[in-house]
Amino acid sequence: MRMIGHEARTGTIRYWTGLNDDRIRKLYTTYFKFGDAPVRRRRGRSPTRVGPLVRTPLRALESGVFANLLLANGLFSVEQPPGPVLKGNVDLGHRFCECYETYDVLVPRGALSLEWGWNLLISIRRGDELGITRCQTCSICYVFDLLSLPRSACPACLLFEHKAPLMLTPLTG
Ligand SMILES: [Zn+2]
């Protein structure tokens, strides 16, 4: 129910809860479709590209806020990667939702939807495209593209130096 409220895709809800598609559809139809605050149903697969998550310093910073919340909530582990089993783990599914709700408070008009947050989490856990590191200068944790060389500089330091354009275009998908 909580994930439907955040417009999660059926496949994402199925992964976390083990509910079948028919059950998820019925929950949506019963509790959301005709409610006071209509919730959209997103079709198709979850986003899988990582580029948009770190394309600009502002994006990387927002992704970093979410990654910090995920790390603090034990949804992935740096010491013992990738971290706990998520499939069918409803308790951690709630924690994932809490991370998203906290992100939504911390980052006004943030670009990440729950689905982009999910993409971020599984990309970090997979460890082949996105990495997480700490800036030696300002100490924030940020997300970076493992495949781009040279490694991108700390997004917070870049933004404070006003070297980066502030792009506020929404992510699609
Ligand atoms: Zn920095």
How far does the centroid of ligand 1 lie from the alpha carbon of residue 136, in Å? 7
How far does the centroid of ligand 1 lie from the alpha carbon of residue 25, in Å? 44
1-58: pLDDT as tens digits: 999 999 999 999 999 999 999 999 999 988 888 777 778 787 778 888 899 999 998 9
**Exposure string over 49-83, b if 16+ CB within 10 A, otherwise e:** ebebbbbbbbbbbbbbbbbbbbbeeebbeeeeebb
Q: pTM higher than 0.85 for the full model?
A: yes
How far does the centroid of ligand 1 lie from the alpha carbon of residue 134, in Å? 8
Q: How far apart are CA 31 and CA 157, in angstroms?
A: 45
69-96: pLDDT as tens digits: 999 999 999 999 999 999 999 999 999 9
By CB neighbour count within 10 A (0-12 exposed, 13-18 middle, 19+ buried), where does 28 fall?
Answer: middle
| CB-CB contact of 84 with 75 (8 Å) | yes
Q: Which of 2, 113, 19 is nearest to 63 (CA)?
A: 113
For residue 88, what are its two tokens? 């069918």
